[in-house]
Chains A and B, each alone.
Chain A
Amino acid sequence: MRPTLKMEKRLVTPRRVMLAVSILSIALALLAIAFVFIEYGVDPLYAYTEIFVGSFGSVYGLSETIVKAIPLILCGVGLTVAFKALVWNIGAEGQLLMGAIAATGIALYVFPDAPPIVVIPSMFATGFLSGALWGVIPAILKAKLRAYEVITTLMMNYIASNLVDYLVYGPWKGLKEWGFPYTDKFSPSASLPVLPPLIPGMSHRIHYPTLILALTLAVVIYVLVMKTKLGYEIRVTGENPDAAKYAGMSYFKTVLLAMLISGGAAGLAGVGEVAGVHYRLRYARGISPGYGFIAIIVAWLGRLNPLAIIPSSLLFGGLLVGGDAIQVSLGLPVAAIGIFNGVILFFVVGAELLTRYKITLEWGRGG
């Protein structure tokens, strides 16, 4: 008698199994990263406590976590649509930046003197369209010319980030910004309002119009993907493209729409960053510390469920805020926090086996 592992393919994965696997993979990732910290001479318990206290341990920390979660929700929700259609959009970062450029163009050059009721909706509309454009180009190249979208979307990230830098160092450089790669500041009517202080006297940066937009979009996309004909076509195209074609669905149309939504959502995130956080366009790394890439982990951790993107984004928003905190208190290099991204994603994708197979230990004759 000896124990054997029996693997059985699951036909459906219960929700609680998915949740348990997600939590398990984060726990294992934190354990693995603890060893990196020990190797680096940092007490992991101290580091984790600092991260938690910095991000969720105070009202201010929590408000900053929400500020960072806003672009993650928007990009992440968009990515669920593309990934469900099996289109590997790695370009949310560039799509976000294109949204930021568009909003800046509206705020500073198209409607510099118009009232908020005109400027703000125009910024969101053009931001969506610019992000969508940056997503639709790879979609057309994929559907018509079979160009691998991982590469096209990624290359367009680099092009977008260089475009931002070109603008802020060159033609859009602010007249009042002494030597800094910033545009001029947006007028108050192009700046998104923040919620009144949660505690009297303590200011925060939650730009609520974008937050409401992000939460609404999560619900709308959930309904779209789960309950509508387009959502059904997106899911079938992703799961079985041949069956989709056989059923008369247009591959071109589905891929195009999935990337339009995905890119557009990321574009909205870019509008939120320039109009709600910075009130200007800055160099690319200053606008986004990699929201578009972190959103890939957010989407995967949320198992491509648009509603699960919300808690998943809060977690990674907290990690960004807490990461800033330990960089200051422990003197770690800026990129160090990137280890969290890589290791968590390793465990999330590695543990997926547990959602696809039911693994049981059996006592019986081996072989």
Chain B
Amino acid sequence: MGERRMSLEASVASLLHDAIRSGTPVLLGTLGEIYAERSGVLNLGVEGMMIMGAVTGFGVTLATGNVWLGILAGAIVGGLSALIHAFLSVTLRANQVVSGLALTMFGLGMSGLIGGVFVGLPLLTPLRPISIPILSDIPVLGPILFEHDLLVYLSIALVPLLWFTLFKTKVGINIRSVGESPATADALGVNVFRVRYLCVFLGGLLAGLGGAYLSVAYRPAWTEGMTAGKGWIVIALTIFAMWSPGRALVGSYLFGGVEALQFRLQPPPPHGLGISPNLLAMLPYALAMIVLLAGTRETIRKRMGAPSALGTPYVRGEK
């Protein structure tokens, strides 16, 4: 009796532990997209930036043996990819939906070309989890929260940091004013173009970081198209988060939980339910739709819409 309870406890703990792991790449991506959208730029290229980060992170780690160099390179390449979108949508005033889609297609193709030689190679120096002394000994909570790799802790630390910057600092006020009313911000001396470029770049850095996490920590390997729609789930989570970092954390771990659950339901009884992997694979996408609906409802109820200038290029002197 007692033994069974222990094992149930252990399996719930391991599920929650994995929920945090699977939720981390989408959390990073969502935090970045929140900043881009808060500045008024919709970037649907998250999937493309993420996968560019994944292929770069894997390749650089493989070549140098240094996983942190790989992670850094993945983030930078994600940021650089985002600049293509910034140039098209901010400078050339291109349609942001189409430009973002183009970035996703480009990233998927380019990463496939670059990663062709990485397929099937093992990564000998992946990012490994570390147990935080003392804290990881706490029963139940210890193994859930304090046995992760450093990127997980970094992503959690970013949540209050990015929240504080966005809502409590001058920089954050500028970003939000550029997203709500660029003409007013411009009149007050805020450089609309610079703020938008920087926010889109930050979005790319974080998406690239999330992608690198996938290929050097979560499942240390490179497979073509390995982001598998996570970049799109980020877009849904940004709406669910109502453009606020705190809610992004909740949404990302919820999503991570469903992904972790998916692998537990798959094996035949007694270890799982033996549900077809193809049916289970639908779960995260169905959840993304539900999460989107919930977020939209909440946004309407609280009369807190998307940033007013989201998706519209700014031209001085033109409405």
Interface residues of A (CB under 8 A from B): 9, 36, 40, 88, 90, 141, 145-148, 150-152, 154-156, 158-159, 162-163, 165-166, 169-170, 293, 296-297, 300, 332-343, 345-346, 348-350, 352-353
Contact = CB atoms under 8 A, between A and B. Distances in A.
Given A141-B293, A150-B235, A345 B101 contact: yes
Nearest to B228: A158
Given A169-B276, A346-B84, A335 B113 contact: yes
Contacts of A90: 101
Contacts of B108: 335, 338, 342
Contacts of A88: 97
A339 B292 contact: no
Contacts of A336: 109, 112-113, 116
A151 B238 CA distance: 11
B236 A155 contact: yes
A199 to B, nearest CB: 35
B229 to A, nearest CB: 6
Contacts of B115: 333
B92 A353 contact: yes
A256 B92 CA distance: 32
Nearest to A332: B113
Contact of B229 (A158, A334, A345, A353): A158
A146 B276 contact: no
A169 B297 CA distance: 37
B95 interface: yes
Interface string B218-231: 00000011000100
Contacts of B92: 350, 352-353
Interface residues of B, number: 48
Contacts of A9: 318
Given A147-B293, A352-B95, A342 B281 contact: no
Nearest to A169: B278
A333 B222 CA distance: 14
Interface in B72-119: 84, 88, 92-95, 97-99, 101-113, 115-116
B236 A151 contact: yes
Interface of B: 44, 48, 84, 88, 92-95, 97-99, 101-113, 115-116, 224-225, 229, 232, 235-236, 239, 276, 278-279, 281-282, 285-286, 288-289, 292-293, 296-297, 300, 318
Given A147-B293, A345-B102, A346-B88, A339 B109 contact: yes
A40 B101 contact: no
Contact of B285 (A36, A148, A158, A342): A158
A346 B99 contact: yes
A337 B92 CA distance: 26
A337 B109 contact: yes
A37 to B, nearest CB: 10
B278 A341 contact: no
B102 A342 contact: yes
A75 to B, nearest CB: 14
Query: Per DSSP, are chain B's interface residues mostly helix, strand or loop, or mixed?
Result: helix
Contacts of A341: 102, 105-106, 109
A163 B282 contact: yes
B224 A335 contact: yes
Given A162-B279, A166-B276, A349 B98 contact: yes
Contacts of B279: 162, 166
Given A300-B98, A346-B106, A159 B285 contact: yes
Contacts of B102: 341-343, 345-346, 349
Nearest to B297: A145
User: What are the 4 A-B residue pairs with the smallest beta carbon separation, nearest first?
Assistant: A335-B112, A342-B106, A338-B109, A345-B102
A169 B279 CA distance: 11
Contacts of A154: 229, 232
A88 B105 CA distance: 16
Contacts of B84: 346
A24 to B, nearest CB: 14
Contacts of B98: 296, 300, 345, 348-349
A40 B276 contact: no
Contacts of B225: 335
- Of the candidates B94, B224, B288, the one having the most CB atoms from chain A within 10 angstroms of its own CB is B94
B106 A349 contact: no
Contacts of A147: 289, 292-293, 296
Nearest to B113: A336
Given A345-B102, A349-B94, A158 B109 contact: no
A297 B106 CA distance: 12
Nearest to A340: B109
A90 B231 CA distance: 14
Given A337-B109, A352-B92, 10 more contacts: A141-B293, A147-B289, A154-B232, A155-B286, A158-B281, A170-B278, A335-B109, A335-B111, A339-B113, A342-B110
Contacts of A333: 112-113, 115-116, 224
B106 A162 contact: no
- Of the candidates B105, B279, B293, the one having the most CB atoms from chain A within 10 angstroms of its own CB is B105
Contacts of B97: 88, 150
A40 B94 contact: no
B107 A162 contact: no
A155 B285 CA distance: 5
A151 B282 contact: no
A4 to B, nearest CB: 16
Contacts of B95: 349, 352
Nearest to A9: B318
